[in-house]
Structure 1
Amino acid sequence: MPVRALVYVSQKSDRLGEYDLEALVADAATFNATADVTGILLFDGQRFLQYLEGPAAGVEAAFRRVCVATSHKEIMLLAGGIVGARFYPSWSMMLIGADRSSLDQIASGDWNGFVRRGVVARPTAVDHMLTLTEKA
Protein backbone atom coordinates (compact mmCIF):
# COMPACT_ATOMS: atom_id res chain seq x y z
CA MET A 1 0.00 0.00 0.00
CA PRO A 2 1.50 3.39 -0.97
CA VAL A 3 2.32 5.83 1.79
CA ARG A 4 0.95 9.32 1.28
CA ALA A 5 2.64 12.32 2.87
CA LEU A 6 1.55 15.88 3.41
CA VAL A 7 3.26 18.87 5.00
CA TYR A 8 1.92 22.31 5.84
CA VAL A 9 2.86 25.40 7.82
CA SER A 10 0.48 27.63 9.79
CA GLN A 11 0.33 30.47 12.32
CA LYS A 12 -0.67 29.87 15.95
CA SER A 13 -4.05 31.26 16.91
CA ASP A 14 -4.07 33.86 19.69
CA ARG A 15 -6.55 31.62 21.49
CA LEU A 16 -4.13 28.71 21.86
CA GLY A 17 -2.57 28.31 25.31
CA GLU A 18 0.11 25.89 26.51
CA TYR A 19 -2.41 23.50 28.05
CA ASP A 20 -4.48 23.64 24.87
CA LEU A 21 -1.43 22.67 22.83
CA GLU A 22 -0.84 19.56 24.96
CA ALA A 23 -4.52 18.58 24.62
CA LEU A 24 -4.41 19.22 20.86
CA VAL A 25 -1.39 16.94 20.43
CA ALA A 26 -2.95 14.20 22.58
CA ASP A 27 -6.19 14.39 20.58
CA ALA A 28 -4.30 14.31 17.26
CA ALA A 29 -2.25 11.31 18.41
CA THR A 30 -5.42 9.41 19.31
CA PHE A 31 -7.12 10.24 16.00
CA ASN A 32 -3.98 9.47 13.98
CA ALA A 33 -3.52 6.10 15.65
CA THR A 34 -7.02 5.05 14.58
CA ALA A 35 -6.40 6.39 11.03
CA ASP A 36 -2.95 4.72 10.78
CA VAL A 37 -1.33 8.14 10.37
CA THR A 38 2.05 9.04 11.81
CA GLY A 39 4.03 12.27 11.84
CA ILE A 40 5.40 15.26 13.67
CA LEU A 41 4.33 18.73 14.70
CA LEU A 42 7.11 21.29 14.88
CA PHE A 43 6.38 24.46 16.86
CA ASP A 44 8.54 27.56 17.24
CA GLY A 45 6.18 29.39 19.61
CA GLN A 46 4.33 31.18 16.80
CA ARG A 47 4.21 28.80 13.83
CA PHE A 48 3.50 25.15 13.25
CA LEU A 49 4.92 22.86 10.63
CA GLN A 50 3.22 19.48 10.49
CA TYR A 51 4.27 16.45 8.50
CA LEU A 52 1.70 13.63 8.16
CA GLU A 53 2.17 10.20 6.55
CA GLY A 54 0.07 7.09 6.07
CA PRO A 55 -2.68 5.71 3.85
CA ALA A 56 -4.30 8.34 1.62
CA ALA A 57 -7.68 8.13 3.37
CA GLY A 58 -6.10 8.58 6.81
CA VAL A 59 -3.89 11.51 5.79
CA GLU A 60 -6.82 13.22 4.06
CA ALA A 61 -9.04 12.75 7.14
CA ALA A 62 -6.33 14.15 9.42
CA PHE A 63 -5.81 17.14 7.15
CA ARG A 64 -9.55 17.86 7.06
CA ARG A 65 -9.41 18.11 10.87
CA VAL A 66 -6.40 20.43 10.57
CA CYS A 67 -8.27 22.72 8.18
CA VAL A 68 -11.17 23.29 10.59
CA ALA A 69 -9.09 23.59 13.79
CA THR A 70 -9.23 26.93 15.60
CA SER A 71 -5.77 26.44 17.13
CA HIS A 72 -4.09 27.94 14.08
CA LYS A 73 -4.68 30.04 10.97
CA GLU A 74 -3.11 30.85 7.60
CA ILE A 75 -2.59 27.20 6.68
CA MET A 76 -0.27 26.84 3.70
CA LEU A 77 0.19 23.43 2.12
CA LEU A 78 3.86 22.96 1.24
CA ALA A 79 3.75 19.54 -0.40
CA GLY A 80 1.78 16.35 -0.79
CA GLY A 81 2.51 13.09 -2.52
CA ILE A 82 3.70 9.51 -2.24
CA VAL A 83 6.77 8.51 -0.21
CA GLY A 84 8.66 5.23 -0.39
CA ALA A 85 8.38 4.55 3.33
CA ARG A 86 7.37 6.30 6.52
CA PHE A 87 9.91 8.57 8.17
CA TYR A 88 8.15 8.34 11.58
CA PRO A 89 6.55 4.87 11.76
CA SER A 90 6.20 4.83 15.55
CA TRP A 91 4.99 8.39 16.21
CA SER A 92 1.22 8.84 15.85
CA MET A 93 2.04 12.48 16.63
CA MET A 94 5.12 13.96 18.21
CA LEU A 95 5.39 17.61 19.25
CA ILE A 96 8.90 18.95 18.79
CA GLY A 97 10.09 22.41 19.70
CA ALA A 98 12.00 24.20 16.96
CA ASP A 99 13.69 27.55 16.84
CA ARG A 100 12.47 30.05 14.26
CA SER A 101 15.52 29.62 12.03
CA SER A 102 15.17 25.83 11.87
CA LEU A 103 11.46 26.02 11.11
CA ASP A 104 12.15 28.64 8.40
CA GLN A 105 14.80 26.40 6.86
CA ILE A 106 12.46 23.39 6.79
CA ALA A 107 9.42 25.33 5.56
CA SER A 108 11.31 27.02 2.73
CA GLY A 109 13.31 23.94 1.74
CA ASP A 110 12.88 21.68 -1.28
CA TRP A 111 9.94 19.33 -0.63
CA ASN A 112 9.86 18.06 -4.20
CA GLY A 113 9.25 14.31 -4.06
CA PHE A 114 10.00 14.17 -0.33
CA VAL A 115 13.52 13.07 -1.23
CA ARG A 116 16.62 12.93 0.93
CA ARG A 117 19.96 14.01 -0.43
CA GLY A 118 21.90 13.80 2.79
CA VAL A 119 24.35 16.26 4.25
CA VAL A 120 26.97 15.80 1.51
CA ALA A 121 24.79 17.25 -1.22
CA ARG A 122 22.55 20.30 -0.81
CA PRO A 123 20.11 19.14 1.90
CA THR A 124 16.38 19.05 1.15
CA ALA A 125 13.56 20.04 3.51
CA VAL A 126 13.25 16.36 4.46
CA ASP A 127 16.97 16.24 5.33
CA HIS A 128 16.56 19.29 7.60
CA MET A 129 13.38 17.89 9.18
CA LEU A 130 15.00 14.52 9.92
CA THR A 131 18.12 16.15 11.34
CA LEU A 132 15.99 18.21 13.74
CA THR A 133 13.78 15.29 14.77
CA GLU A 134 16.64 12.84 15.31
CA LYS A 135 17.39 14.79 18.49
CA ALA A 136 13.86 14.21 19.86
Structure 2
Amino acid sequence: MPLRAIAYASEAVASLSAERLRGLVNDAVAFNEAADITGVLLFDGHRFLQYLEGPQQGVDAAWRRILDSSSHHSVVELNRGRIGRRQFSHWRMGWLQVEHTALGRVALSDWTGFVRSTASGIPTSALDRLQLLTAPLLRADQGGPMMQAAPAGGSGS
Protein backbone atom coordinates (compact mmCIF):
# COMPACT_ATOMS: atom_id res chain seq x y z
CA MET A 1 0.00 0.00 0.00
CA PRO A 2 1.51 3.35 -1.01
CA LEU A 3 2.34 5.73 1.79
CA ARG A 4 1.38 9.41 1.76
CA ALA A 5 2.53 12.36 3.82
CA ILE A 6 1.35 15.86 4.53
CA ALA A 7 3.04 18.76 6.29
CA TYR A 8 1.42 21.98 7.41
CA ALA A 9 1.93 25.00 9.64
CA SER A 10 -0.75 26.89 11.58
CA GLU A 11 -1.31 29.45 14.32
CA ALA A 12 -2.54 28.31 17.73
CA VAL A 13 -5.60 30.02 19.18
CA ALA A 14 -4.72 32.44 21.96
CA SER A 15 -6.72 30.44 24.50
CA LEU A 16 -4.80 27.16 23.95
CA SER A 17 -3.74 25.94 27.40
CA ALA A 18 -1.05 23.37 28.16
CA GLU A 19 -3.78 21.03 29.41
CA ARG A 20 -5.76 21.37 26.17
CA LEU A 21 -2.60 20.79 24.13
CA ARG A 22 -1.87 17.58 26.05
CA GLY A 23 -5.45 16.46 25.42
CA LEU A 24 -5.12 17.18 21.70
CA VAL A 25 -1.91 15.18 21.49
CA ASN A 26 -3.42 12.26 23.42
CA ASP A 27 -6.48 12.28 21.13
CA ALA A 28 -4.19 12.38 18.08
CA VAL A 29 -2.19 9.41 19.36
CA ALA A 30 -5.39 7.34 19.71
CA PHE A 31 -6.70 8.42 16.30
CA ASN A 32 -3.35 7.86 14.61
CA GLU A 33 -3.07 4.37 16.08
CA ALA A 34 -6.43 3.44 14.55
CA ALA A 35 -5.60 5.11 11.20
CA ASP A 36 -2.00 3.76 11.03
CA ILE A 37 -0.57 7.31 11.03
CA THR A 38 2.84 8.28 12.37
CA GLY A 39 4.43 11.71 12.61
CA VAL A 40 5.59 14.61 14.69
CA LEU A 41 4.16 17.93 15.88
CA LEU A 42 6.30 20.97 16.68
CA PHE A 43 4.92 23.79 18.82
CA ASP A 44 6.66 27.04 19.72
CA GLY A 45 3.98 28.40 22.02
CA HIS A 46 2.20 30.20 19.17
CA ARG A 47 2.61 28.15 16.00
CA PHE A 48 2.32 24.50 15.03
CA LEU A 49 4.17 22.55 12.38
CA GLN A 50 3.06 18.97 11.82
CA TYR A 51 4.28 16.18 9.57
CA LEU A 52 2.02 13.10 9.17
CA GLU A 53 2.59 9.91 7.20
CA GLY A 54 0.62 6.76 6.51
CA PRO A 55 -1.88 5.22 4.11
CA GLN A 56 -3.87 7.63 1.92
CA GLN A 57 -7.16 6.98 3.72
CA GLY A 58 -5.61 7.62 7.14
CA VAL A 59 -3.78 10.77 6.05
CA ASP A 60 -6.96 12.13 4.43
CA ALA A 61 -8.99 11.43 7.59
CA ALA A 62 -6.34 13.07 9.79
CA TRP A 63 -6.25 16.11 7.48
CA ARG A 64 -10.02 16.56 7.77
CA ARG A 65 -9.70 16.47 11.59
CA ILE A 66 -6.88 19.02 11.43
CA LEU A 67 -8.90 21.40 9.26
CA ASP A 68 -11.93 21.06 11.56
CA SER A 69 -9.95 21.66 14.77
CA SER A 70 -10.75 24.75 16.82
CA SER A 71 -7.30 24.78 18.45
CA HIS A 72 -5.65 26.58 15.53
CA HIS A 73 -6.27 28.74 12.46
CA SER A 74 -4.44 30.00 9.37
CA VAL A 75 -3.53 26.48 8.27
CA VAL A 76 -0.97 26.45 5.45
CA GLU A 77 -0.25 23.18 3.65
CA LEU A 78 3.51 22.94 3.08
CA ASN A 79 3.42 19.78 0.98
CA ARG A 80 1.41 16.63 0.36
CA GLY A 81 2.44 13.58 -1.61
CA ARG A 82 3.64 10.04 -1.90
CA ILE A 83 6.60 8.83 0.15
CA GLY A 84 8.77 5.74 -0.15
CA ARG A 85 9.05 4.97 3.55
CA ARG A 86 8.08 6.35 6.93
CA GLN A 87 10.40 8.87 8.56
CA PHE A 88 8.78 8.69 12.02
CA SER A 89 7.66 5.07 12.30
CA HIS A 90 8.53 5.12 16.03
CA TRP A 91 5.96 7.82 16.95
CA ARG A 92 2.19 7.76 16.53
CA MET A 93 2.40 11.46 17.36
CA GLY A 94 5.67 12.68 18.74
CA TRP A 95 5.55 16.27 19.86
CA LEU A 96 8.19 18.78 20.75
CA GLN A 97 8.03 22.20 22.22
CA VAL A 98 10.67 24.19 20.36
CA GLU A 99 11.98 27.72 20.04
CA HIS A 100 10.27 29.82 17.38
CA THR A 101 13.47 30.06 15.32
CA ALA A 102 13.75 26.25 15.13
CA LEU A 103 10.14 25.92 13.98
CA GLY A 104 10.67 28.71 11.46
CA ARG A 105 13.78 27.04 9.99
CA VAL A 106 11.87 23.79 9.43
CA ALA A 107 8.79 25.56 8.02
CA LEU A 108 10.86 27.59 5.55
CA SER A 109 12.99 24.64 4.39
CA ASP A 110 12.44 22.74 1.16
CA TRP A 111 9.48 20.36 1.50
CA THR A 112 9.61 19.32 -2.18
CA GLY A 113 9.04 15.60 -2.57
CA PHE A 114 9.54 14.92 1.14
CA VAL A 115 13.16 14.00 0.42
CA ARG A 116 16.24 14.11 2.56
CA SER A 117 19.41 15.60 1.12
CA THR A 118 22.28 13.17 1.45
CA ALA A 119 24.93 14.59 -0.83
CA SER A 120 26.49 17.28 1.35
CA GLY A 121 25.76 15.91 4.80
CA ILE A 122 24.44 19.37 5.69
CA PRO A 123 20.75 19.44 6.61
CA THR A 124 19.01 21.48 3.94
CA SER A 125 15.65 19.84 3.28
CA ALA A 126 12.71 20.15 5.64
CA LEU A 127 12.89 16.45 6.50
CA ASP A 128 16.62 16.78 7.24
CA ARG A 129 15.93 19.62 9.65
CA LEU A 130 12.96 17.82 11.21
CA GLN A 131 15.03 14.65 11.73
CA LEU A 132 17.91 16.67 13.17
CA LEU A 133 15.59 18.42 15.60
CA THR A 134 13.94 15.20 16.79
CA ALA A 135 16.94 12.84 16.82
CA PRO A 136 18.21 13.72 20.33
CA LEU A 137 14.77 13.04 21.76
CA LEU A 138 14.34 9.46 20.62
CA ARG A 139 13.73 7.56 23.79
CA ALA A 140 15.11 4.09 24.39
CA ASP A 141 11.61 2.63 24.47
CA GLN A 142 10.84 4.15 21.03
CA GLY A 143 7.16 4.12 21.91
CA GLY A 144 6.44 7.23 23.92
CA PRO A 145 4.00 9.58 22.23
CA MET A 146 5.29 12.72 23.87
CA MET A 147 8.74 14.27 24.10
CA GLN A 148 9.95 17.68 25.01
CA ALA A 149 12.82 19.78 23.78
CA ALA A 150 14.06 22.88 25.53
CA PRO A 151 10.81 24.54 26.64
CA ALA A 152 9.71 27.63 24.81
CA GLY A 153 7.37 28.46 27.68
CA GLY A 154 5.42 25.66 29.30
CA SER A 155 5.39 21.99 30.07
CA GLY A 156 5.27 19.35 27.38
CA SER A 157 4.42 16.23 29.33
TM-score interval, normalised by the smaller of the two chains? over 0.9
Percent identical pairs in the alignment equals: 43
Quote how far apart the aligned CAs of 1:120 are. 2.5
Matched, 1:85 2:85: yes
Quote how far apart the aligned CAs of 1:15 are. 2.1
The amino acid that maps onto 2:6 is: L
Q: How does 1:1-136 map to 2 (within 5 A)?
A: 1-118=1-118, 120-121=121-122, 123-136=124-137
Moved over 6 A (4+): none
How many residues matched?
Answer: 136
Gaps of 5+ in 1: none
- Conserved in 1, the CA contact under 8 Å of 2:9 and 2:76? yes
Q: Using structure 1 for the length normalisation, give the TM-score.
A: 0.96
Quote how far apart the aligned CAs of 1:123 are. 1.2
After superposing the two structures, state which structure 1 stretch, 111-120 or 62-71, moved more. Answer: 111-120
CA deviations on 1:7-28 (whole Å, 9 max, x unpaired) are: 0000010121000000000000
RMSD: 1.1
Quote how far apart the aligned CAs of 1:90 are. 2.1
The amino acid that maps onto 2:96 is: I
Quote how far apart the aligned CAs of 1:2 are. 1.1
Q: Using structure 2 for the length normalisation, give the TM-score.
A: 0.84
